Amino acid sequence: MNNYKMIIQYDGGRYRGWQRLGNGDSSIQGKIENVLTEMAGEEVQIIGCSRTDAGVHAMEQIANFKIKTSMSELQIKAYLNKYLPNDISVLHLETVPDRFHARYNAKDKTYLYKIWNEEHTNPFMRKYSMHVDQKLDISKMKEAASHFLGSHDFTAYSNAKSKKKSMVREIYAISIEKENGFLHIRVRGDGFLYNMVRKIVGTLIEVGLNTIKPDQIPAIIESKERVQTGLMAEAAGLYLEKVEF
């Protein structure tokens, strides 16, 4: 039995998220598992490096699975891309050592958030970004972002659905860049709680709108109270961009 690693891209707009939750057809994981199970003739389970939320996209989701087959790597990849819906694509597939585990071996992840920051709407990106029609103060947002760096208990920036034993996560970097009407926010860390990135971006938006002051961030984090975080950014603007092993 071989262990296979996949690099996957998907438009998460019509799915309940990555993780299979009983109804496999409404999750990315479920869609891929259904195709692999049909191919292998037995039930196949896949492990993803990140459980993206409902509506969230991925430029580079990493997953692994184990099956016994005489098919080559190229044949397996071709089979998946033939039978998966066209909003899910397998970019790469390779055999890896048996000990490789997509979730446990991931060292850090980068999420990208796209904000369309113009007064008018962007019809072509309305499903792939959040529209903020008021001008955002980027300098204050960058100041606020610095307070998230390092290791913190991010309970305040999690969702009630988070069931992790530890709510401590380390954020390595946050960048904020304006480009052609978009504001690109990248958050890189060792891992993220449920809804954590969307809540951090929501807070940064509120800082940019002068609703929250940058120096209020440490107190919000220390409070461990979810009600303190306010706005949660829309799922449509979030992408799992990069995973390092």
Q: Are 103 and 48 in contact (CB under 8 A)?
A: yes
Last residue of a domain, one of 96, 122, 153: 96
State the pLDDT confidence band at 163, using cuts at 50, 70 and 90.
low
- Does pTM surpass 0.85? yes
Based on the fold, state whether residues 85 and 119 are members of the same structural domain. no
Q: What is the average pLDDT across 146-152?
A: 98
Catalytic residue among 11, 25, 53, 133, which? Answer: 53
Q: Are 73 and 144 in contact (CB under 8 A)?
A: no
Based on the fold, state whether residues 92 and 112 are members of the same structural domain. no
Summarize pLDDT for 190-238 with one digit per residue, the tens. 999 999 999 999 999 999 999 999 999 999 999 999 888 889 999 999 9
State the pLDDT confidence band at 165, using cuts at 50, 70 and 90.
confident
Is 53 considered catalytic here? yes
Residue 181 lies in a domain: yes
pLDDT score recorded for residue 227:
85
Based on the fold, state whether residues 89 and 195 are members of the same structural domain. no
Residue 6 lies in a domain: yes
Based on the fold, state whether residues 59 and 155 are members of the same structural domain. no
Based on the fold, state whether residues 177 and 152 are members of the same structural domain. yes
Q: Are 64 and 101 in contact (CB under 8 A)?
A: yes
Last residue of a domain, one of 72, 96, 120: 96
Summarize pLDDT for 3-35 with one digit per residue, the tens. 999 999 999 999 999 998 875 579 999 999 999
Q: What is the CATH number of the domain that holds 233?
A: 3.30.70.660
* Cα Rg of the chain, angstroms: 19
Question: What is the domain range of residue 80?
Answer: 2-96
* Separation between Cα atoms, residue 36 and residue 83, nearest integer Å: 10
State the pLDDT confidence band at 170, using cuts at 50, 70 and 90.
very high
pLDDT score recorded for residue 27:
95
Q: Are 196 and 169 in contact (CB under 8 A)?
A: yes
* Separation between Cα atoms, residue 186 and residue 203, nearest integer Å: 14
* Separation between Cα atoms, residue 61 and residue 58, nearest integer Å: 6
Residue 59 lies in a domain: yes
Share of the chain residues as helix, strand and coil, in percent rounded to the nearest 5 = 30, 30, 40
Q: Are 93 and 76 in contact (CB under 8 A)?
A: yes
Based on the fold, state whether residues 189 and 165 are members of the same structural domain. yes
Residue 52, Cβ density class (10 Å: 0-12 exposed, 13-18 middle, ≥19 buried): buried
Handedness of CA 185, 187, 192, 196 (dihedral sign): negative
The DSSP annotation for 91-160 comes to: EEEEEE-TT--TTTT--EEEEEEEEE-SSS--TTTTTSSEE--SPP-HHHHHHHHHTT-EEEE-GGGS-T
Residue 153 lies in a domain: yes
Q: What is the CATH number of the domain that holds 10?
A: 3.30.70.580
Based on the fold, state whether residues 52 and 140 are members of the same structural domain. no
Based on the fold, state whether residues 78 and 136 are members of the same structural domain. no
Last residue of a domain, one of 76, 96, 116: 96
Residue 103 lies in a domain: no
Q: How many domains does the chain have?
A: 2
pLDDT at 112 over 60: yes
Cα angle 81-84-89, degrees, rounded to a multiple of 5? 55
Weakest mean pLDDT among 62-76, 92-106, 156-170:
156-170
Residue 139 lies in a domain: yes
Residue 180 lies in a domain: yes
Strand partners, 170: 151
Based on the fold, state whether residues 169 and 74 are members of the same structural domain. no
pLDDT score recorded for residue 89:
98
Residue 131 lies in a domain: yes
Based on the fold, state whether residues 113 and 220 are members of the same structural domain. yes
pLDDT at 149 over 70: yes
Backbone angles phi, psi at 111, to 5 degrees: -110, 140
Q: HSE on the CB side for 226, CA within 13 Å?
A: 13
- Mean pLDDT, all residues of the chain: 95
Based on the fold, state whether residues 131 and 183 are members of the same structural domain. yes
Enter the tokens of residue 127: 């499903």
Based on the fold, state whether residues 123 and 209 are members of the same structural domain. yes
pLDDT score recorded for residue 23:
59
